[in-house]
A and B are shown apart, each in its own frame.
Chain A
Amino acid sequence: MRPIRAISQGARAVIRAGRMPLVFWFFTLVFALAVVLPVGAILYGDLGHSLYAERMLNNFDLQWLAEMMNRTDGLPVYVFPPLIALVAVGYILLGTFLAGGALTVFASEEGKYRPGLFYEGCGRNFWRLFRLLLVSLVFYGVVLAASVALKGLGKSVWGQGMEERPLVIFGWCRSGLTVVLLLAVNMIFDYAKIRLVVEDSRKSWRAALGAVKLVFRNLGGTLATYGLVALVAVALALGYHAVSGTIPRNQALGMLLLLVLQQALVVGRIGVKLLFFGSQLEIYRGVTAATAIVEEPPALETPEVPELPAEC
């Protein structure tokens, strides 16, 4: 299947799924609030009735952070990073849970979001997707370890020298390669998730290795699909920056507009995530259907016997 066709079908699937992005957004909002509300409470307690807040309306004053650290003996450092890490882990598990539902909806015949179907898919697929998540961590770990090893290599080659430039350029290349490889792992494991859900399989390693095989056998299509959807995400971000820059940020109406725009972008980003699933599901279906056709035993045909000339 061609990437454009896969993406357009994926987009249709996301649209058909109706409220599903909003479900994702709701949970994202709840998890974000778990971090934001305590910070908001501190801000209110410290600055709610202070003129200092008004002075910081245009430009946040980093001195306030230093004051806060001084007053609390650095308590935020001990509290917030663990809290953020905890929320992030929770959100990853939530994402694993919801991914099962989203793929179930996309893979269903009607493709429409129904809470029963969605949450049944979430529950049925959670543990297999969780196992797959653990497998994916091995792959991500290998990429990061390779990146660290490359850094060490760069340091051993140029680190003792008197020029910074080669090491910086090497660092850029290394970072670029690391990002590409992380995205590749991300893409491969999208296909592995699809495979587990579509085939109703529990074999995570097999799904992962199968996804590797699938991606490499259809490198052009899978990469192009992933890249084009990623471009949609970039376009969304650029659009947000272009529009948000025109909104007056210190006026009440502007703040409200910005809030709406920001949340729209978050929903848009969730939509892109679902678009990845939808488009890649179409690619997966196209590839597996083609494989099935190829693997069908050839039909026995009776060779046509040329008619012999009547007269020899």
Chain B
Amino acid sequence: MTRPIWWCVPVAMALGMVWGGEAARIVNYEISARLDTKLRAVEGHETLTWLNDSSEEVRELRFHLYMNAFRDDKSTFQREEDGHPKKDALGWIEVKSLRIAGGADLTKSMRFLHPDDDNAEDRTVMAVALPEAVKAGRSIALEIDFHTKLPHVSARTGYHGDFYMVAQWFPKIGVWEKAGERYATQGQWNCHQFHANSEFYADFGRYAVSLTAPSNYVVGATGVLENRREDAAAKTATYRFVQEDVHDFAWTASPLFQRIERTFDPAREVSARELADTAKLLGLPEKEVSLQPVRMILLIQPEHAAQVERHFKALRAGLKYFGLWYGKYPYPTITMVDPPYGGGAAGGMEYPTLFTAGTSWLVSERRQAPEMVVVHEFGHQFWYGMVANNEFEEAWLDEGFNTYSTSKILDKVYGPQDLSPSRWVHGPGVNWDAINRGAYLMGAKTDNLLRNAWEYYDGSSYGLNSYPRSGITLRTLENYLGEATMARIMRTYFQRWRYRHPCTRDFIQVANEVSGQDLKWSFDQFVYGSNVVDYKVGEVENREVGDKKKQFESVVKIRREGEAIFPVEIRVRFTDGKTADRKWDGEYRWVKFKFTGPAGVESVEIDPGHKILLDVNFANNSYREDVAVKPLFKWWQNLLFWAENLLLVAGGVS
């Protein structure tokens, strides 16, 4: 027997779910959970109210059961990872019961789906057929009991010793994409399996979660702590966290955490000049770029206590520049979690209003180790947290945009990074454009930048395309359009799409609109394609002409070696010190420039500002008539010296 669900609508309205805040509150989770530190498990009860805000009725619900990725070595996640977890490292989620609130028990109608592959053993997506469809604009409330066994920390969730990072731990409903939303032509579930190279996608709403843990544990979670009640007899404490306009909830617990709080005070962090400059850059009134105070919480390991201020400095940088450039961070709190040694697999991960960082005991500031992770993971509050793209299908929209943003902040705040392996040895300083470009060059032609996360050539191609290649693609676009235009594109995109699910097409639309240009040529080549840019100085000829007055006729030929086309600037320097600049649309395979004058060509350089970071060969971008004696001699002598010293070390045994 089924029961009508029309009664849910007034409940949903009462909860303020229908466009109550800034976000469309599609989901409302009330969860109570108890951490069992002996069983390494969480016992939970969830009341989920889900709103069908589409114009079609929905007959089936789909849920993510991510934790089942760790239940054995047959899950899609483990098969893709070639993982063979030990017995004590396994994790899973068991939905013990699922019923409509005050209505039918749906437990028996649960079944597992595998929409992405043919792996019948995968149990990370569950479908529940409803006895009666959820009509357009109506809601349904479900009561779910679940038991989650945590794995030894893996893929950013699980336990290590007394440390618990509890993420992707409850039955989470997928996204019902309305016709016209992203690529959907009709209402459809978007609920992918958990893959080795993919992250997440969920709808916005309100989370109110009560967590019970041993009372000696320090607990941190998504959202604002409303209260803490201690049960002296049971030696437990229950925390209630609440947050609106988020699409996930994660928490952490450990008796070792040191909890430190600071306040981000915009009046102190942002000078009047910075505010004015930003407003000018963006063409906005100063009021619109002003920021608001945020409570910063750090849960740090005791052995990293010396790095407390480094964490806060990085977080302040993130709050300041993301806020100024894109829009203020709107939540009252942000929590940083520092995983312990051995729990590194929990590090470097973002969740709404909470993220995990990661550092080591004696890491040099020059390496920007916790700094980079803190700025990057905080940045995901914007690119993933608020602008909530589908990470399964378009990872570049969060990881790439975030790489672009955090690279700019790190270069601005910390300067070039020292990549030397030891804190006691100084290496050359390298900026983030160079790091990202260097990484991109390791596999420039492996894949198109944009693919489903699990369909890249391999894990490294997923990483390379989603992070550094995307980062330098956006930097190249910035160099092409100019800083102000790019800043306005990014801000417009953020403001327009926060609390929503944009796709690549939506970003292109914003970029075209704000820049006033059709940038299809760029996105077609560099996002949807894998062609590379490579322009080369082909030939330089100087010929003496004229009988009386010494004149030179010079010919410069520029060639396009790569398949991709990009407009380029060319600078020609003559032996009398004069220069001439030329522009070329870069389309045909080559172009020829002729010069006649009193001096011959001394050097030619394509893209003298190194704006096209996607060019795979800077070395052939220029030509000089004479030989670069000094640099070659310098490297040659240093190489010789290193080689001799290494040989002497090796020869020590003889």
List the interface of chain A (C-beta within 8 A of B).
28-29, 31-33, 35-36, 39-40, 43-44, 46-54, 56-57, 59-67, 69-71, 84, 87-88, 91-96, 99, 129, 133, 136-137, 140, 159-165, 167-168, 186, 189, 249-250, 252, 255, 258-259, 262, 265-266, 269-270, 273
> Are A95 and B651 touching (Cβ within 8 A)?
yes
* B156-164, B491-499, B519-527 - interface stretch: B156-164
Chain B residues lying within 8 Å of A62, measured Cβ to Cβ, are 419, 428, 430, 434, 438
Chain B residues lying within 8 Å of A47, measured Cβ to Cβ, are 619, 628, 631-632
Closest beta carbon of chain A to B647's beta carbon, Å:
5
> Are A87 and B434 touching (Cβ within 8 A)?
no
> Are B628 and A48 touching (Cβ within 8 A)?
yes
Asked if A162 meets B637 with Cβ closer than 8 Å, knowing A66-B441, A67-B619, A95-B651, the reply is no
> Are B434 and A67 touching (Cβ within 8 A)?
no
Question: How far does the alpha carbon of A72 sit from the alpha carbon of B273 in the complex, in Å?
Answer: 49
B648's partner among A28, A186, A250 (CB-CB below 8 A) is A28
What are the 5 closest A-B residue pairs judged by CB atoms, nearest first? A95-B654, A164-B341, A53-B628, A51-B622, A162-B340
Docked complex: B250-287 residues within 8 A CB-CB of A: 256
Closest beta carbon of chain B to A286's beta carbon, Å:
24
> Are B635 and A43 touching (Cβ within 8 A)?
yes
Closest beta carbon of chain B to A65's beta carbon, Å:
8
- 5 inter-chain pairs at a CB distance below 8 angstroms, sorted by A residue, are A28-B644, A53-B628, A71-B616, A162-B162, A262-B641
> Are B647 and A162 touching (Cβ within 8 A)?
no
> Are B341 and A92 touching (Cβ within 8 A)?
no
B82 within 8 Å of A by Cβ? Answer: no
A32's partner among B441, B605, B633, B643 (CB-CB below 8 A) is B643
| Secondary structure class of chain A's binding surface, majority of residues | helix
Closest beta carbon of chain A to B422's beta carbon, Å:
12
Docked complex: B598-625 residues within 8 A CB-CB of A: 603, 605, 616-625
> Are A167 and B341 touching (Cβ within 8 A)?
yes
B184 within 8 Å of A by Cβ? Answer: no
B639's partner among A40, A50, A136 (CB-CB below 8 A) is A40
Q: A65-B438, A262-B644 are in contact. List 4 more A-B contacts (CB 8 A).
A: A28-B644, A50-B623, A52-B618, A63-B437
Closest beta carbon of chain B to A135's beta carbon, Å:
11
> Are A32 and B644 touching (Cβ within 8 A)?
yes
B332 within 8 Å of A by Cβ? Answer: no
Question: How far does the alpha carbon of A140 sit from the alpha carbon of B60 in the complex, in Å?
Answer: 68
Closest beta carbon of chain A to B66's beta carbon, Å:
25
B10 within 8 Å of A by Cβ? Answer: no
Asked if A186 meets B653 with Cβ closer than 8 Å, knowing A43-B632, A168-B362, A273-B648, the reply is yes
| Identity of the chain B residue whose Cβ is nearest the Cβ of A56 in the assembled complex | B631
> Are B342 and A161 touching (Cβ within 8 A)?
yes
Asked if A59 meets B648 with Cβ closer than 8 Å, knowing A50-B628, A96-B654, A162-B256, the reply is no
B61-84 toward A: CB 8 Å interface, digit per residue (1/0)?
000000000000000000000000
B567 within 8 Å of A by Cβ? Answer: no
Asked if A60 meets B635 with Cβ closer than 8 Å, knowing A51-B624, A67-B619, A91-B651, the reply is yes
B365 within 8 Å of A by Cβ? Answer: no
B237 within 8 Å of A by Cβ? Answer: no
Asked if A255 meets B633 with Cβ closer than 8 Å, knowing A29-B644, A63-B618, A92-B654, the reply is yes
> Are A40 and B636 touching (Cβ within 8 A)?
yes
Asked if A159 meets B342 with Cβ closer than 8 Å, knowing A52-B622, A273-B648, the reply is yes
> Are A186 and B635 touching (Cβ within 8 A)?
no
Closest beta carbon of chain A to B26's beta carbon, Å:
39
> Are A162 and B342 touching (Cβ within 8 A)?
yes
> Are A60 and B630 touching (Cβ within 8 A)?
no
Question: How far does the alpha carbon of A207 sit from the alpha carbon of B256 in the complex, in Å?
Answer: 57
B580 within 8 Å of A by Cβ? Answer: no
> Are A60 and B428 touching (Cβ within 8 A)?
yes
Chain B residues lying within 8 Å of A39, measured Cβ to Cβ, are 639
Chain B residues lying within 8 Å of A189, measured Cβ to Cβ, are 653
B301 within 8 Å of A by Cβ? Answer: yes
B360 within 8 Å of A by Cβ? Answer: yes
Chain A residues lying within 8 Å of B419, measured Cβ to Cβ, are 62
| Identity of the chain A residue whose Cβ is nearest the Cβ of B439 in the assembled complex | A66
Chain A residues lying within 8 Å of B434, measured Cβ to Cβ, are 61-63
Chain A residues lying within 8 Å of B653, measured Cβ to Cβ, are 92, 95, 133, 136-137, 140, 186, 189
Chain A residues lying within 8 Å of B513, measured Cβ to Cβ, are none
B645 within 8 Å of A by Cβ? Answer: yes
B343 within 8 Å of A by Cβ? Answer: yes
> Are A88 and B646 touching (Cβ within 8 A)?
yes
